[in-house]
Amino acid sequence: MEILSTSDPDLEKAAEALAAGLLVAFPTETVYGLGADAFNTGALARVFEAKNRPSFDPLIIHIAGPDALPRIADIASLDELASRRLSVLVEKLWPGPLTLVLPKQREVPDLATSGLATVALRCPSHTAAQKLIRFSTGALAAPSANPFGFLSPTKAEHVRNQLGNRVDYIIDGGRTELGLESTVLDLGREIPVILRPGGTSREAIEELIGPVELSVGSVSAKPISPGQLISHYAPMAPLVLHKQGELALIPEATGEGRLYFSSPGDMAVPERTRVLSQSGDLTEAAANFFDMLHELDSLNLSLIRAEEAPAYGLGAAINDRLRRAASNT
């Protein structure tokens, strides 16, 4: 495994590697992705293998701009309402942390979509990601660059620590700006459905296309969106989730770590305590979320107690991750 920079020559080298079927982890504005050429089935198979990801969990295809949309998604088959919604969302929210689930084009390998008739498409706003896609075939399949079910990577070192030599190159773009994955929105329903809350808030989407539904997590073996698997985004240590305010009232036990949403006042064991945002700012909290969990997890704690975020905007996405992280316990 080799670390590359975000310079043009390094991105060109990475694009060549992708063309040869190798795996390249790259930064986006949300989290690091484990990239493979979306049309290379050998490379796609290696992504599932490297992540230890079940084959029923489809990948997101990343494109550099809306011009590439018709090549991946069969947008001609959409009804009028769905196409109108698509145009507005693409115009206002792309590039950015919004993944759209649309009918797939036949050219897209079934391996990428786990045999579904739909494809998840995202246009990241990160400059290095955009360039890498343009230097490549124009479509990169990229799940988050972590082993399946574990904490998502917001720094190159998280990818190196978690995937090591299972990835060929890591492009180091520093810490990702948003820190939480994209929102996944299914546009193929009469009322669109948020399959995964994320970096684009429900409120921002509803302002543009009207009411959407939020799919509640499924515990079935075959959920609608596999990211809804109940246990996901988990640290090594068991995690217990508390309502806001509750955590500060529980005495701290030895070997226990804490993740507060906002300032808890006096902290008994500062080295085992993290605060997502002292001032309670949701953007700052989201950016710190996975990073702080990685830090706490490196302390070999017996338990992590975490506090819920407010239930709106990015807080909904933070709480979704926390609930899934807590579901092992």
**Residues in contact with ligand TXA by the rule CB under 6 A:** 28, 30-31, 33, 57-60, 97, 99, 101, 113, 116, 118-120, 122, 124, 142-144, 181-182, 184, 195-196, 225-227
Q: Which is nearer to ligand TXA, 305 or 324 (CB)?
A: 324
In angstroms, give the least distance from the CB of 143 to Mg ion: 5
Binding of Mg ion by 182 (CB under 5 A): no
Q: Which is nearer to ligand TXA, 177 or 308 (CB)?
A: 177
* CA torsion angle 65 67 72 77 (round to 10): 130
Question: What stretches of 187-263 adopt beta strand conformation (E)?
Answer: 193-196, 213-214, 239-242, 256-260
Residue 304 interacts with, from ligand TXA, Mg ion, none (CB under 5-8 Å by kind) = none
Q: Which is nearer to ligand TXA, 176 or 277 (CB)?
A: 176
Cα-Cα end-to-end distance for the chain: 34
Among 30, 40, 136, 144, binds Mg ion (CB under 5 A): 144
Return the biggest CA–CA distance within the chain. 60
Omega within 30 of 0 (cis) for the link into 95: yes
Q: Which is nearer to ligand TXA, 47 or 326 (CB)?
A: 47
d(CA 192, CA 318) in angstroms, rounded, equals 21
Q: Which is nearer to Mg ion, 96 or 198 (CB)?
A: 198
Residue 242 interacts with, from Mg ion, ligand TXA, none (CB under 5-8 Å by kind) = none
Cβ(178)–Cβ(30) under 8 Å? Answer: yes
Question: What stretches of 39-93 adopt beta strand conformation (E)?
Answer: 60-62
> CB neighbours of 125 closer than 8 A, spacing ≥ 6?
28, 29, 95, 96, 97
Mark residues 25-64: x for contact with Mg ion by CB under 5 A, - for none.
Answer: ----------------------------------------
The footprint of Mg ion (CB under 5 A) covers 144
